[in-house]
């Protein structure tokens, strides 16, 4: 490129950049003018209204009566029976845990 071509390209690029900045400022000014022309109105929550026919509908059902105690028919069983129970024939509810994996001890330096 010659010096004249570089100068023309620079002028064209600067003109295009200035045109885009002017367009952005124009859009911003139009937006602000539109916002300023609208009156400021606060949005309020509408008053609560009753459901039509609420007077004739039944209210929520009463809470069921609870005794507050556990049923005593089945006693809770431990997952692992003790040694006496195992000797009597009780089986554990869970399988035995896997053996712990142990590696070689870390040598001291």
Domain-embedded: residue 7: yes
Domain-embedded: residue 12: yes
Report the predicted TM-score, pTM, of the whole model to 2 decimal places.
0.36
Q: Of residues 52 and 16, which shows the higher confidence score?
A: 16
Looking at the structure of the chain, the number of domains it has is 1
**pLDDT tens across 87-106, in order?**
888 777 777 778 777 778 88
**pLDDT tens across 27-76, in order?**
999 999 988 888 777 667 777 777 777 677 777 777 766 666 766 676 76
Strand, coil or helix: 81? coil
Place of tokens 């200035």: 18
Q: State the Cα–Cα distance between residues 84 and 78, nearest whole angstrom.
A: 13
Domain-embedded: residue 26: yes
pLDDT of residue 83: 80
Domain-embedded: residue 6: yes
Give the residue numbers spanning the domain of 27.
Answer: 1-38
Domain-embedded: residue 17: yes
């Amino acid at each position: 490129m010659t010096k004249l071509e570089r100068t023309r390209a620079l002028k064209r690029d600067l003109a295009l950049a200035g045109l885009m900045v002017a367009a952005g400022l124009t859009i911003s000014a139009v937006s602000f003018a539109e916002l300023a022309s609208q009156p400021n109105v606060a949005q309020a929550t509408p008053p609560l209204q009753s459901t039509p026919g609420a007077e004739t509908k039944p209210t929520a059902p009463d809470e069921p009566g609870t005794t507050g105690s556990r049923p005593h028919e089945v006693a809770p069983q431990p997952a692992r029976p003790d040694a006496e129970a195992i000797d009597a024939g009780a089986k554990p509810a869970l399988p035995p845990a896997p053996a712990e994996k142990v590696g070689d001890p870390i040598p001291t330096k």
